[in-house]
Structure 1
Amino acid sequence: MKNPMKNKLLYIFSLLIVLVSCNQENNQKRLAENAKDAKKKKIIFENIQKGWDFYDEPINEATEESIKTWTELRVFMQELAQKPRKTIGAFQQKSDAISKKAMVLNMNIPVLFDKPQIKSRISVLITKVRLLDMYIHLDNIPDKKVVQLVGEINKELATLQRQMDILTEKSKIPVEEGEDEMRRMLLDSARAIPNNTVMPTVIPVGTRGIINPNDARVE
């Protein structure tokens, strides 16, 4: 007759072996998945780090001059100049900071640039920056889209700066001497003449007293 205790021990031992094997297999799968996920995140980080290249300095005279008095634009450009380095979390924090700086670009615009075309470019720029901030905070970050938006933001910055340069150049065009004074005189003369004024008929010298046969006669 077999020993019941021995059979029970063998059963328990076999069960333990099975459980240990399952745990090892699960651990191996988990480690493989973690390694795959880490590799994917590394590739995303490297792609974003490589493509994160903003125009952090003014590319024309107009912008360089304007940021001296346009504090919001100057701070925004300074924020772009500070590139994150170590982790994707650092890029997320930087994106959030850039978005906040972009949101106030419509404030305190210098008089020279306070024009519809400038405000329109700023609105588009803000939209692009906010999209960048949204995409980089997703759980599954679309790195290609993030890099694409960086390029689009650079294009919007360049367009904005060209518009500012055009306005600056127009402001430098000198007014011809006497042009303003002539305009004022013409305007004053036009205002001085009433709308219902009838201009007198001038009779040429030497024709006075000559009867025009076509004129009506008084009998």
Structure 2
Amino acid sequence: MKYKFAVFFSLVFLLFSCKNEDEKRIAENEKEIQRREIIFTNIQKGWVFYDTPVTEASENSVATWSEWRIFLAELAQKPKKTIGAFQQKSKSLTKKAMALNDNIPFEFSKPQIKSRISTLITKVQMLDLFLNLDTIPDKKVTQLVAEINLELVSLQRQMDKIVDKSNIPVEEGESDLLKMMDTTRAIPNTPIIDPNIPRVE
């Protein structure tokens, strides 16, 4: 009889402990859902890119530089509904940003532009990385969006400077002077060896 009571009480204890674990699990799941919703709303609020050209040079380059146009168009499309949509968008943005290195127009194929493009690519890759972590740091994501916007403005202003500089007329004789100052075209400064002087070998 004692054995039956022991089995009965252990079964009752087991049922109550399982019920408590289920309640804890349900409460944890609800907290996780609320945390994800907060992260989603923060990212959605902060996901604002400068997707329209801010300078005249950038606006003109949209017509000729297809990779730049595609990248800006990708920035203009804001994901909705889920975190997964933001993750897919960040992967797509990374691919489009990497493509900016291809077919850079000749007038913009300069170290100043290339360095800004590589900085922009790095920031977009970091955005993709943060969005694909298990626990997404929403503050860092929104901060990265702001940094990407700064890089976009910097790149477009540099484009404008290059266009403005190319529009300055060249004075007479300036091109010859620039050629003379070019160290890559200079005659190498090697000493002339007189064959009549004895040498020690």
TM-score (norm 1): 0.75
Say whether residues 1:57 and 2:52 are aligned partners.
Answer: yes
Aligned match for 1:30, one of 5, 25, 29: 25
* Partner residue, 1:193: none
Gaps of 5+ in 1: 188-219
Secondary structure of the corresponding residue to residue 99 of structure 2: coil
Deviation string, structure 1 residues 143-165 (Cα, Å, up to 9, x no partner): 11111110000000000000001
Q: Find the counterpart in structure 1 of residue 91 from structure 2.
A: 96
Q: Match for residue 70 of structure 1?
A: 65
Q: CA deviation at 1:170?
A: 2.0
1:153-181: CA deviations, max 9, x gaps? 000000000000111122223456xx37x
Gaps of 5+ in 2: 180-201
Give the helix-richer structure, 1 or 2.
Answer: 2
Q: Distance in 1 between matches of 2:170 and 2:95?
A: 41
Q: Match for 1:13: what amino acid?
A: F
The offset of 1:18, in angstroms, is: 1.3
Q: Please give the root-mean-square deviation of Cα atoms over the aligned residues, in Å.
A: 2.0
Letter in 1 for 2:161: I
Structure 2 matches for 1:152-191, cutoff 5 A?
A: 152-175=147-170, 179=172
Asked which structure has the greater CA Rg, the reply is 1
Name 1:130's counterpart in structure 2. Answer: 125
Deviation at 1:97, TM superposition (A): 0.3
Q: Aligned pair 1:21/2:16, yes or no?
A: yes
Identity fraction in percent: 58
Q: Tell me the number of residue pairs that the alignment of Structure 1 and Structure 2 aligns.
A: 177
Match of 2:145 among 131, 150, 157: 150
CA distance in 2, matches of 1:144, 1:158: 22
